[in-house]
């Protein structure tokens, strides 16, 4: 059923900012809880970044910085899993790093490799006219559970400003997100 949102940008951010973090926790965690040991409590890190160590397979096309250089330090999923095991963290929600750009392939591959331990939020360009289709593609074709949006990159007119929040394409995105039970994460500071 389509959702008719009649909010201006300020109303939207005010209405969603408090609940967004709380919504990130439950996504897909039912399967996690069912798989958890009775003797070991479920501990979920709800915001973890990983990045590939193979720039040929997983390039770093930072969407806002053409002269971006590869990360100096590794941050692979194998390192994350090792640390999770070391410190008793049973599950994690991966959040796409900006320097992999709109290509969420690495975190999608991570979730496929560790489906009992990981969920993921990707990044999609909110100014893309096909943003709702991109959400559906990454969720249905690649198993992501939602998306992170970063309004901080669009303030004061940068990259088209915050007009995307009210754009027709974005209303389609909100409806598609509701249809897919997507979790949307807003990085607003």
Q: What is the pLDDT of residues 42-80, one digit of tens each?
A: 999 999 999 999 988 998 877 767 777 778 888 999 999
Which residue range is the domain that position 52 belongs to? 9-34+43-186
Name residues whose C-beta falls within 8 Å of residue 62's C-beta, 6 or more positions apart in sequence.
68, 98, 99, 101
Evaluate whether residue 152 is within a structural domain.
yes
Evaluate whether residue 155 is within a structural domain.
yes
Q: What CATH number corresponds to the domain at position 176?
A: 3.20.20.140
Mean pLDDT over 2-20 rounds to 48
Evaluate whether residue 81 is within a structural domain.
yes
**Into how many domains does the chain fold?**
1
No. of helices (H) and no. of strands (E), the chain: 6, 5
Distance from the Cα of residue 136 to its chain's centroid: 13
Evaluate whether residue 56 is within a structural domain.
yes
């Amino acid at each position: 059923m389509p959702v008719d949102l009649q909010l201006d940008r300020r109303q939207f951010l005010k209405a969603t900012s408090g609940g967004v973090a709380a919504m990130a926790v439950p996504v897909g965690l039912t399967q996690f809880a069912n798989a958890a040991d009775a003797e070991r409590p479920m501990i979920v890190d709800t915001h973890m970044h990983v990045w590939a160590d193979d720039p040929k397979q997983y390039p770093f096309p930072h969407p806002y910085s053409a002269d971006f250089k590869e990360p100096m330090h590794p941050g692979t999923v194998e390192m994350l899993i090792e640390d999770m095991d070391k410190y008793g963290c049973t599950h994690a929600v991966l959040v796409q790093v900006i320097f992999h750009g709109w290509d969420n392939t690495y975190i999608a591959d991570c979730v496929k490799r560790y489906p009992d331990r990981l969920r993921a939020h990707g990044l999609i360009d909110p100014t893309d006219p096909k943003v709702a289709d991109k959400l559906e593609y990454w969720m249905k074709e690649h198993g992501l559970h939602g998306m992170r949006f970063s309004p901080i990159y669009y303030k004061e007119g940068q990259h088209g400003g915050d007009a995307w929040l009210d754009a027709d394409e974005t209303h389609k995105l909100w409806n598609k997100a509701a249809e897919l039970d997507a979790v949307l994460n807003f990085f607003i500071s």
